[in-house]
Copies of this chain bind each other. A is one copy, B any other.
Amino acid sequence: MKCSRCKAPAVVSLPSHHSAFCEACYLDFFTKQVEKGIRKQKLFTHEDRILVALSGGKDSLALVYELQLQGYNVTGLHIDLGIPSSSAPARNSTEAFCTKHNIPLLVKEMEKEGLAIPMVKERLRRPVCSACGKIKRHFFNKIALEEGFTVLATGHNLDDEIARLFSNTIRWDIPYLGDQGPALEADDEHGGFIRKVKPLWRLSEWETANYAFLRGIENHYASCPYSKGASFTFHKQVWATIENHMPGRKIDFYQGFLERGQPLFAQASEKQSDPLHPCQRCGFPTSAGVCGVCRIREALAEGQ
């Protein structure tokens, strides 16, 4: 197989783009896809101060690496969840990577916040994934605003977005569909939400893994011991089958949604959705009186 651009021997085959690339052309392809994703959805500019959420996995490390290469002003943020088997390797991997590549890094420890995930899991006595997600999003937002960043970027790739879109679509959850996309606008009115963006939205998990491999991005990522059997894993398998049968369908589904579906859902859900207010405890926006994270804190305090 030869590179579709320069005819050198190809190292990566991309049926969804009807292409194959050598190493140099693949890295260029990846860069162009990220550029196109940023430009088409107006995610940010070189004037922005971008906080990049770094889990220590290949997606977020590939993202911050590529954005730095493209000359953006980036800082990493790692949330140390305090999970024995996975948090230490994730944090070490992130710290080593940022040191090696001169990327400024902030680390926030949930242990010090009284929110170490194993303790939350034990006390709440229900699946912890939803609470963990709320906690991470809360601190991403809080730190981004407190430290004066203008945008928060996460490493969600096309497969993550497709799994979420598919889950929202088969339930026809109009408010969630109206809110989904590579950019979620800032909300300054109700206590403050930072603008959130997903610059890897055009690139699949496999394409990002290839990039990480070719760039020599090492990660010693241990998967979370609590997240087994999540429904998104099943949705990703379904879409792997669809993409294999109809190459290119994933990006078409997502782009078609952004162009023709999302605007309808956003308009319809404006009429339905609960208005936001500042949380009575922490001041960050919530549609309830007290936000999800403050309610977790209260539940933990009651259990003591």
A binding-site residues for B, Cβ under 8 Å: 169-172, 174, 231, 234, 238, 241-242, 245-246, 249, 252-253, 256-257, 259-261, 264-265, 268
- Inter-subunit contact B261/A172 (CB<8 Å): yes
Across-interface contacts of A231 in B (CB, < 8 A): 246
Bound CA–CA A123/B284 (angstroms): 68
- Inter-subunit contact A169/B169 (CB<8 Å): yes
Across-interface contacts of A171 in B (CB, < 8 A): 252-253, 256
What are the 5 A-B residue pairs with the smallest beta carbon separation, nearest first?
A172-B256, A172-B260, A172-B261, A170-B253, A264-B264
Interchain nearest-CB distance for A256 vs B (Å): 4
Across-interface contacts of A265 in B (CB, < 8 A): 264
Q: In this complex, what residue of B is CB-closest to A241?
A: B238
Bound CA–CA A245/B170 (angstroms): 14
Across-interface contacts of A252 in B (CB, < 8 A): 170-171
Across-interface contacts of A169 in B (CB, < 8 A): 169
Bound CA–CA A231/B242 (angstroms): 11
User: In the complex, which of the residues B172, B257, B268 contacts A172, with contact meaning CB atoms closer than 8 Å?
Assistant: B257
Bound CA–CA A74/B249 (angstroms): 42
Bound CA–CA A245/B238 (angstroms): 11
Bound CA–CA A171/B253 (angstroms): 6
- Inter-subunit contact B253/A242 (CB<8 Å): no
Interchain nearest-CB distance for A270 vs B (Å): 12
Across-interface contacts of A264 in B (CB, < 8 A): 174, 264-265, 268
Q: In this complex, what residue of B is CB-closest to A172?
A: B256
Interchain nearest-CB distance for A88 vs B (Å): 34
Interchain nearest-CB distance for A255 vs B (Å): 9
Besides A169-B169, A171-B256, A231-B246, 9 new A-B residue pairs in contact (Cβ under 8 A), listed by A number: A170-B252, A171-B253, A174-B260, A174-B261, A174-B264, A238-B238, A238-B241, A241-B241, A264-B268
Interchain nearest-CB distance for A272 vs B (Å): 10
Interchain nearest-CB distance for A288 vs B (Å): 23
Interchain nearest-CB distance for A269 vs B (Å): 10
Bound CA–CA A172/B172 (angstroms): 13
Interchain nearest-CB distance for A266 vs B (Å): 11
Residue of A170, A252, A261 most packed against chain B (CB within 10 A): A170
Interchain nearest-CB distance for A79 vs B (Å): 31
Bound CA–CA A170/B162 (angstroms): 11
Across-interface contacts of A257 in B (CB, < 8 A): 172
Bound CA–CA A252/B265 (angstroms): 19
Bound CA–CA A256/B257 (angstroms): 18
Interchain nearest-CB distance for A176 vs B (Å): 11
Across-interface contacts of A238 in B (CB, < 8 A): 238, 241-242
